[in-house]
Amino acid sequence: MAGHFEALPGGGAAVALDEVEISILRSLAVQLLELIGPGDEPAKGEDPLAALFAQGPSEPPSDPALARLFPDAYGGPEDEENDELREFSAEFRRYTENDLRARKRDDALVVVRNLDALSATGEGGAVLKLTADDSLHWLGALNDLRLTIGTRLEVTDEDEGGDLYRLPDSDPRKPMVMAYLWLGALQETLVETLAP
């Protein structure tokens, strides 16, 4: 079980984590929460139902990592000059981004809470046991973390087996690459536990 998720009866998953792994995962999840932002809570006395229908932004984020987490729904970079696709993307973003941000925040919060509960009971490491619902939140958060780190490292499809994975230990990007690869392994084994 060390280093990878295994299926639990009832649809959950478990993984053994040491203190360092718990600390790294928690730190990354907190950083993801900070990147995504706090969200728009209704002001005191405001109608919470009205907040459900609040419109979000219409422009894509300027931060490349956020743009990767919240991509345009229509077209891509090659379609920047297509006014119609930009208009469709803006309209789609306006009505969906707030919900998507809330879901990504929820996923990262589940990770932090699970790790906090685990570290409060374990000395030197422990086995993290997730319910089926928590497993889905973890899968979303692991994916978001990999997308964010991959964007910061400028990983592309052409990088598969490329120089990025053979960096010398002295390269300042090496810890991020190691985290990227580790998160990928965790994500892959979690997907396998969820597969029928």
Of 175 and 125, the one with more pLDDT: 175
Domain that holds residue 159: 6-43+101-194
Q: Report CA-CA distances (Å) from 183 to 41, 81, 98, 146, 194.
A: 31, 36, 26, 7, 17
**166 is a domain residue:** yes
Mean pLDDT computed over 3-11: 89
d(CA 177, CA 166): 10
Q: Which of 112, 129, 143, 122 is nearest to 13 (CA)?
A: 129
Q: Who's near 42: CB < 8 A, 6+ residues apart? A: 48, 50, 51
The length of the chain is 196
Top pLDDT among 175 and 61 is at: 175
Q: Is residue 17 part of a domain?
A: yes
In 134-171, which positions are buried (b, 16+ CB within 10 angstroms) versus exposed (e)? bbbbbbbbbbbbbbbbbbebebeeeeeeeebeebeeee
Q: Which residue has the tokens 């990147």?
A: 35
CA distance 70 to 96: 10
pLDDT of residue 120: 58
**What global pTM score does this model have?**
0.85
**Assigned domain for 190 exists:** yes
| Structural domains of the chain, count | 1
Structure tokens that stand for 20 in this block: 């360092």
Whole-number pLDDT of residue 42: 53
In tens, the pLDDT along 45-102 reads: 666 655 555 666 677 788 999 989 988 888 766 666 777 887 888 888 888 888 999 9
Residue 145 domain-assigned (yes or no): yes
In a domain, 163, yes or no: yes
β-bridge partners, 16 = 2, 127
Q: What is the mean pLDDT of residues 2-23?
A: 90
State the pLDDT at residue 1: 43
Predicted confidence (pLDDT) per residue in 102-155, tens digit: 999 999 999 999 999 986 555 667 899 999 999 999 999 999 999 999 999 988
Asked if residue 26 is part of any domain, the answer here is yes
**Does residue 63 form part of some domain?**
no
Q: Which residue has the higher pLDDT, 165 or 113?
A: 113
Domain assignment present for residue 160? The answer is yes
